[in-house]
Structure 1
Amino acid sequence: MSNTIEAIHLLEDKLKILLSNYEFLKSENQILLQNNTKLQHQLLEKEQNLVAQKKEFDMLKIAKTIEGSSINTKDTKLKINTLIREIDKCIIQLQE
């Protein structure tokens, strides 16, 4: 009979440890999920910043070319034509 009681106490102790570990891992998982969400948000911001910086760089290249530099004249003309086409598309959409 005492063997059975000892086994029950041992089982209870193991269950308490298991529940304690479960609660710890549950809270740790919640923290990790929050960190993951935060990092994903930061990554998205960085990607958007990179896109904006690339656009600004392209605009600076165009401005330098228009300024009188003949290095990227062909690229600038192509970019201006592309921008004009995009503006035309926007105007058409606004008219509809």
Structure 2
Amino acid sequence: MNIVGMSEIAAIIDTLEGRLKKLFEKTDHLEQVSTQLKQELYTANATIERQSSEIEALKKQYETLKVASSLLGSEDNKRETKLKINALIREIDYCIAQLAD
């Protein structure tokens, strides 16, 4: 009975070793996947930042083109342009008043 018990213990140890080996392999694989996903996330975030900057630049360019278009006679944005010009004139007048004081 002692010999049977030893072989059962050996079998259990072999089974545990096999399971541990599989766990280590899965852990290694998951670490690789995690590293890959972190890299993809970093790349995606960089792309988002770049595209956000491009969007902001395009918005500014669009606004500038709208103003230029209205100054060249476009009726669509004339009122908006007049309001912006008046706001700029008020701001300039305020600055001149501050300098005069």
TM-score, with length taken from structure 2: 0.77
State yes or no: 1:70 paired with 2:66.
no
CA separation in 1, counterparts of 2:88 and 2:21?
Answer: 67
In the TM superposition, residue 44 of structure 1 has moved relative to its aligned partner by 1.1
1:4-50 Cα shifts (integer Å, max 9, x gaps): 01000100010001001100100110010010011011011111111
Aligned length, in residue pairs: 89
State yes or no: 1:25 paired with 2:21.
no
State yes or no: 1:46 paired with 2:47.
no
In the TM superposition, residue 78 of structure 1 has moved relative to its aligned partner by 2.6
Contiguous gaps of at least 5 residues in structure 1: none
State yes or no: 1:2 paired with 2:7.
yes
SS where residue 76 of structure 2 aligns? Answer: coil
Q: 1:12 aligns with which of 13, 17, 36?
A: 17
> With CA pairs under 8 Å and 6+ residues apart, which has the higher RCO, 1 or 2?
1
CA separation in 1, counterparts of 2:44 and 2:8?
Answer: 53
CA separation in 2, counterparts of 1:71 and 1:37?
Answer: 43
In the TM superposition, residue 71 of structure 1 has moved relative to its aligned partner by 2.3
Q: What fraction of aligned residue pairs are identical, expressed as a percent?
A: 31
Instruction: Give the number of the structure whose alpha-carbon radius of gyration is greater.
Output: 2
C-alpha RMSD of matched pairs (Å):
2.2
Contiguous gaps of at least 5 residues in structure 2: 1-5
